[in-house]
Structure 1
Amino acid sequence: MQHLIGLAGWSGAGKTTLLERVIPVLVAKGLSVSTLKHAHHAFDIDKPGKDSYRHRQAGASQVMVASGKRWALMEELTDAKEPELPELLGHMRAVDLIIVEGYKRHGHTKIEVHRQANGKPWIHPEDPLVRAIASDVPPPEGCALPWAHLDDAQGVAGLMLAHALPWTQEAL
């Protein structure tokens, strides 16, 4: 059965850097891991001049690029609204753990990633779906959530495994 956990935090908190260190820990435990990252509105994985870019510019609504090592499907939304998280998860194949980076306002179980130097407020007081914290400082006094330091990849991996919830496409 696959499980889902989110990493939620303000920009610059270190979510991606943390994932770079935690994913190998999870894989070393024998888990298959996938990630779904929320990006800024204008992101593009394609490059001007590439054939796939030219196909999109010509009006193709979907362009798939494939090789012996990987494949990617790009879909132009044009006038459509941004897909919701459950719809995007429905495109992913079954793995042991899906980690969602971003989507801090969506309704899934999360670990808050907090960096004091950002000066941003904590998310957990306003979000009951935050189940644990990864931070460079201990949580505020009175916070009973478990936490691990941002530099403790093993500890954060443990938090993920302890708080990830079962997820299936049927649950969408």
Structure 2
Amino acid sequence: MKIIGIAGFSGSGKTTLIEKVIPLLVTGGLRVSLVKHAHHEFDVDQPGKDSWRHRHAGCAEVLITSSRRWALMHELRGAAEPSLQEQLKHLAPCDIVIVEGFKHAEMPKIEVHRKLAGAPLLFPEDPDIVAIATDEHLATELPQIALDDAEGVARFLVRHLGLDRARLGVVR
């Protein structure tokens, strides 16, 4: 399982870029998983639904399952947030894990930078940045890929992570 981070500040276009890259990798025969870090309290459950009621009644974990998907919700109940490495242990085997968020974790990362977002760049201070997807030319030796070039990002990921490119017709 290879891991790549997609890092940048809010409004830079991380989610949009990832949403365009994933189908290219999947069409190329790769099994892709994603870890998304939320910086605030979030809820994947709907108030009033059975699973929500059971979780709020005190369950430490609630697993919802159907013939189409399953989801496991784990309540920390005051415990420390698990590290990225601890969370990765919960994933089924796959070819690549894309990590959105965890911008300060040690892993190879593509920085997503949008000029109009006005956010600072990560690469000058983060040695784990291996490329930048951006809408402007930056003064760096790092590879730069156009922010709207999902195929270019997919090709870079495959090459950088040493994935089997023979299976990947669209991202060679």
TM-score, normalised to structure 1, is 0.91
1: CA distance between counterparts of 2:55 and 2:114?
38
What residue in structure 1 maps to residue 168 of structure 2?
Answer: none
Question: Is the contact made by 1:109 and 1:163 (CA closer than 8 Å) also made in structure 2?
Answer: no
- 3-state SS of paired residue (1:131): strand
- 3-state SS of paired residue (2:35): strand
What residue in structure 1 maps to residue 16 of structure 2?
Answer: 17
Q: Provide the aligned C-alpha RMSD in A.
A: 1.2
Deviations 1:114-169 (A, max 9, x none): 1111101110000000000111112x22x011111111110011121222379xxx
1: CA distance between counterparts of 2:155 and 2:90?
27
1:57 to 1:165, Cα distance in 2 relative to 1, 3 A: farther
Is 2:117 the partner of 1:118? yes
Is 2:157 the partner of 1:155? no
1: CA distance between counterparts of 2:109 and 2:160?
8
What residue in structure 1 maps to residue 169 of structure 2?
Answer: none
Deviation of the 1:66 alpha carbon: 0.5
Question: Is the contact made by 1:4 and 1:165 (CA closer than 8 Å) also made in structure 2?
Answer: no
- 3-state SS of paired residue (2:22): helix
**Letter of the 1:160 counterpart:** L
What residue in structure 2 maps to residue 7 of structure 1?
Answer: 6
Could you list the structure 1 runs, at least 4 aligned residues long, displaced by more than 4 angstroms after superposition: none
What residue in structure 2 maps to residue 169 of structure 1?
Answer: none
- Percent identity between matched residues is 53
* Unaligned residue ranges in structure 1 (runs of 5+): 167-172
1: CA distance between counterparts of 2:27 and 2:119?
33
What residue in structure 1 maps to residue 103 of structure 2?
Answer: 104
2: CA distance between counterparts of 1:113 and 1:61?
36
Q: How many positions carry a matched residue from both structures?
A: 163
